[in-house]
Chains A and B, each alone.
Chain A
Amino acid sequence: AQKVTQAQTEISVVEKEDVTLDCVYETRDTTYYLFWYKQPPSGELVFLIRRNSFDEQNEISGRYSWNFQKSTSSFNFTITASQVVDSAVYFCALSNWGGSEKLVFGKGTKLTVNP
C-alpha cells in the first residue's frame, strides 16, 4: 500500500526565514511520481511540482527547491526567504503512474509566515 507521511502538522516562521517541509513516502512500486501541492485558504489546489522516481536531481524554481532522496524515501520542499503569501497548507502526494492514477496525499503541513 502507498503512504505519504508529513510529520510536521504546523510550522510558523517569520518572513524571510527559510523553511523546509518534510515528506516521507512508502510504496512497493518501482515507478512512481511524487507531487507537492499548495492549498491556500480559498481552498483550491495549486500544483507545484511533479517528480518521477527515476529522476533524483534536485530542482529549483525561484524561491522553491525540492530534494528527492530515494535512499530515505523522502521528497522535501524548501522555501527560501519565505513571504506572507506563502502561508498555506502544503500537501505532498504520491501516485503510481504518470499522475493519471489516483493520488495518495499526506495529511498536509500548515505553514504560517508572519510579517
Chain B
Amino acid sequence: GAVVSQHPSWVICKSGTSVKIECRSLDFQATTMFWYRQFPKQSLMLMATSNEGSKATYEQGVEKDKFLINHASLTLSTLTVTSAHPEDSSFYICSASSGTGNQPQHFGDGTRLSIL
C-alpha cells in the first residue's frame, strides 16, 4: 500500500529554535499534502493544505510566518516551525494525496515536538 514517511518522529529543542519536519510519499506522487496538529488528548486540526508548486493554504488562526510550508516536489513537503516556543509543542501529522479522488489520504506516523 501507499507509504508516507515523516521525519523526525520525535524532536526536543530549546525555545527559539526553528524545526523542520519532512513528509515524503515513498511510492506515489502526492499532488496535495496536508499538515495537521494534535494537542494532547485532543483531535487533529488541519493547519494547512499544500499543493505541489504553489503556496500553501492556511486554515484560519494558523500563522503563516510561523509555520512555513514548502511543497517543492511531488514527493516531499516540509513544515518548518520558526522560532518555536513551548506552546508550539504538539504532535504534527502530515498526509498525502495523489489527487485522483479515488484514494484516501495516506498519513505519516507523526512528529512529537517538544519545546523546552
Contact = CB atoms under 8 A, between A and B. Distances in A.
Contacts of A100: 32, 97-101, 103, 105
Interface of A: 33, 35, 42-45, 47, 50, 91, 97-100, 102-108
Chain B interface category by residue count: 20 to 34
A99 B43 contact: no
Contacts of A104: 46
B100 A98 contact: yes
B107 A99 contact: no
A102 B58 CA distance: 12
Interface of B: 32, 34, 42-46, 49, 91, 93, 95, 97-110, 112
Contact of A99 (B42, B93, B103): B103
A111 to B, nearest CB: 14
A43 B104 contact: no
